[in-house]
């Protein structure tokens, strides 16, 4: 039995993140707080993206922190993957205008599903810190 489980773990790749497959009503609040309702509890859960994302010369970067001090007009958006399996709950991205070293604004975005996971109904950062 243990051997079968170990083989399954080796043969079936685990996708990191992918919170949007089991979460809905994804929204962004002040200072980079990401909120979502996630299965199975369907209660609101939040994390502060400011603890994990930085502004690297006008581009959002991971790992890091404090991106909301230099970025503004945050947006959560759906990512079109052209995959029918993603049609109902597509992966989520975070976009914002960020200041570069010359104090000019640059549009930047990251794929949140690469870094955030639904763990027992709570969104949690599982990307690099």
**Extents of the domains making up the chain:** 18-125
| Other CB atoms within 10 A of residue 126 CB | 16
| Rounded Cα distance, 7 and 25, in Å | 36
pLDDT of residue 39: 95
CA distance 54 to 19: 21
**Which pLDDT value is given to residue 7?**
34
Q: Tell me the per-residue pLDDT of 52-67, one tens digit each, with 9 for 90 and over.
A: 999 999 999 999 999 9
Distance of CA 100 to the CA centre of its chain: 22
CB 59 within 8 A of CB 48: no
Question: How many CB atoms within 10 Å of residue 31?
Answer: 13
Q: Indicate if the pLDDT at residue 9 is higher than 60.
A: no
Name the CATH superfamily for 18-125.
Cyanovirin-N (2.30.60.10)
This prediction has a pTM of: 0.81
So what's the pLDDT on residue 15?
53
Q: What distance in Å separates the CA atoms of residue 86 and residue 78, rounded to the nearest whole number? A: 10
Residue 16: its pLDDT value, please?
A: 64
Query: How does pLDDT run across 75-93, given as a tens digit for each residue?
Result: 999 998 888 888 888 899 9
Cα–Cα distance measured from residue 78 to residue 123, given in angstroms and rounded to the nearest whole number: 17
Distances (CA, A) of 98 to 26, 65, 93: 22, 14, 15
Q: What is the pLDDT of residue 17?
A: 82
- If you ran DSSP here, which 8-state letter would residue 15 be given? P
Rounded CA-CA distance 126/117 in Å is 6
């Amino acid at each position: 039995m243990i051997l079968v489980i170990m083989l399954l773990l080796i043969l079936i790749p685990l996708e990191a993140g992918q919170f949007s497959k089991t979460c809905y009503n994804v929204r962004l609040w002040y200072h980079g707080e990401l909120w979502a309702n996630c299965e199975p509890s369907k209660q609101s859960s939040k994390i502060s993206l400011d603890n994990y994302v930085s502004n690297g010369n006008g581009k959002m970067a991971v790992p890091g922190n404090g991106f909301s001090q230099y970025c503004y007009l945050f947006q959560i958006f759906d990512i079109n993957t052209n995959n029918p399996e993603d049609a109902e709950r597509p992966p989520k991205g975070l976009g914002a205008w960020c200041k570069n070293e010359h104090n000019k604004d640059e549009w930047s975005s990251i794929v949140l599903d690469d870094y955030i996971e639904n763990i027992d109904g709570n969104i949690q950062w599982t990307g690099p810190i």
